Amino acid sequence: MKSGKRGPGRPRSFDQERVLEQATQVFWAHGYEGASLTMLQAATGLNPPSIYHAFGSKAGLYSACLDHYVAHVGHHTNAALSREVADRAGLAEFLLDAARQFTDAGRPGGCMISTAALELPPQSDSVARAVATRRDTTLGLLADYFRRAQAAGTLDPAADPRALARYFGAVVQGMSVQARDGATAGELAAVAHVALTAWQAPPG
């Protein structure tokens, strides 16, 4: 469907993936409302009509950038939580990967989804609901991870998977805030290690 036969009309003169990558950086750094069309125009090299023809609106472009973000940046993150074996080491890898991602030089600090959670009025429009959905997805992945760990016998069966999911979700979001505040990868890794003490092995 991508490079299939082109219909009539002038072909577009830009690479959609490249545009999404650059627009994502702008939204990531400045947030949805903080990113102006002038910034997006300068970063992507596109003119307003091209943007609006390709993505419909600023919100549409933002939504496409969210997809791009989870598909590329958040790829390893979700993969770490989706593996079959769910143990403490896997969760550690998930947290330490976040510590690295959040402080990656040359990219905006922190997590794009967590950052968006705070700047958008809750439950207002479609943009807010789009990011809320992605956060719920990660929360569900975490809860499933802990359920699998309990089934595998690596996590105390008395623990509450949903409470643990919410806890580690909060830790990651807190790490994102601190990354934005200038915390180093080492400092965030230390936070991750402390947080892992909440993983209680089954008794006996």
Closest CB 49 distance from DNA, rounded Å:
4
Q: Is 47 in the site for DNA (CB under 7 A)?
A: yes
> Is 180 within 8 Å of 110 (Cβ atoms)?
yes
Task: Considering only residues 141 through 200, tell me which ones interact with a copy of itself, judged by CB under 8 A.
Answer: 160, 163-164, 166-167, 169-178, 180-183, 187, 190-191, 194-195, 197-198, 200
Q: Which residues contact 11 (CB under 8 A, 6 or more apart)?
A: none
Task: Considering only residues 12 through 51, tell me which ones interact with a copy of itself, judged by CB under 8 A.
Answer: 29-31, 33-34
Give the binding-site size for DNA (rule: CB under 7 A).
27
Q: Is 135 in the site for a copy of itself (CB under 8 A)?
A: yes
Closest CB 50 distance from DNA, rounded Å:
3
Half-sphere exposure of residue 155: CA atoms within 13 angstroms, side-chain side: 25
Question: Judged by CB, which is closer to DNA: 8, or 204?
Answer: 8
Taking CB under 7 A as the criterion, the residue among 21, 31, 50, 166 binding DNA is 50
Select from a copy of itself, DNA, none the partner in contact with residue 172, using the beta carbon and a kind-dependent cut-off of 5 to 8 Å. Answer: a copy of itself
Residue 171 to residue 194: CA distance in whole angstroms: 10
Q: How far is CA 129 from the centre of its chain?
A: 15
Question: Judged by CB, which is closer to a copy of itself: 18, or 193?
Answer: 193
Select from a copy of itself, DNA, none the partner in contact with residue 21, using the beta carbon and a kind-dependent cut-off of 5 to 8 Å. Answer: none
Question: Judged by CB, which is closer to a copy of itself: 56, or 157?
Answer: 157
Q: How far apart, in Å, are the Cα atoms of 82 and each of 7, 142, 155?
A: 40, 9, 17
Question: Judged by CB, which is closer to a copy of itself: 16, or 184?
Answer: 184
Long-range contacts of 24-31 (CB under 8 A, 24+ apart): 24/65, 24/68, 24/69, 24/112, 25/107, 25/108, 27/62, 27/65, 27/112, 28/65, 28/69, 28/107, 28/108, 28/112, 28/115, 29/108, 31/115, 31/116, 31/119
Q: What does the binding site for DNA look like in residue numbers (CB under 7 A)?
A: 5-14, 33, 35-39, 46-50, 52-54, 57-59
